[in-house]
Amino acid sequence: MIPQDQSKAARDIAGRARVIPVLVLDDAGHARPLAEALVAGGLPALEVTLRTPAALDSIRAMSEVEGGIVGAGTLLTPDDVRAAKAAGARFGVSPGATETLVQACIDEDLPLLPGAATATEAMALLEMGFDMMKFFPAEASGGAPALKAIGAPIPQISFCPTGGVSLANMADYLSLSNVSVVGGSWVAPKDKMVAGDWAGIESLAREARG
């Protein structure tokens, strides 16, 4: 069972805004201005995916931005958890969940948003003490209708849908009683990062927040 304070922390972080930006950074030099733009736009919880060599340095830079809460996404192994925590991550996100990964997060006192795509996976995580989860891959797993159906027999679980979520369909998810926040990459497009268009990213964040 995960500690109750970790479960509460995951819910609190998810409740900071209705959108958690999912960030893939190839250049750690973009990290601080990107975080500043997103926080200024009203999106304080930031997920940096561990998919690039720049990810951990980006987490270090973002962790210094006032008002931001940086987390590490795509946690797959205990080594990922330890590295993310050492870099300054305050929460973790995984596409799925294993007992080994969950135990590593408990050991490192890192609140986790574990991934589930089926009722069975959600029930297994609920048995571990999780009541806040990532629904992934959201669109490929049936989208908002599937999540609504899962929520009917398991209303005590809240989800953060990620994977195919965009400005166009986020309202479909946020209208569900078992969705408190969505995750998406559209608020930080690569072309705007490369161009250094931080004002443009702040504007996208404000739009998503609204």
Active site residues: 47, 134
The interaxial angle of helices 31-40 and 55-62, nearest 10 deg, is: 50
Q: How many helices (H) and strands (E) does the chain have?
A: 10, 9
C-beta neighbour count of 190 within 10 angstroms: 12
Burial 89-101 (b: 16+ CB within 10 A, else e): bbbbbbbebeeeb
- Which conformational region is residue 61 in: left (phi greater than 0), alpha (psi within -120 to 50 degrees), or beta? alpha
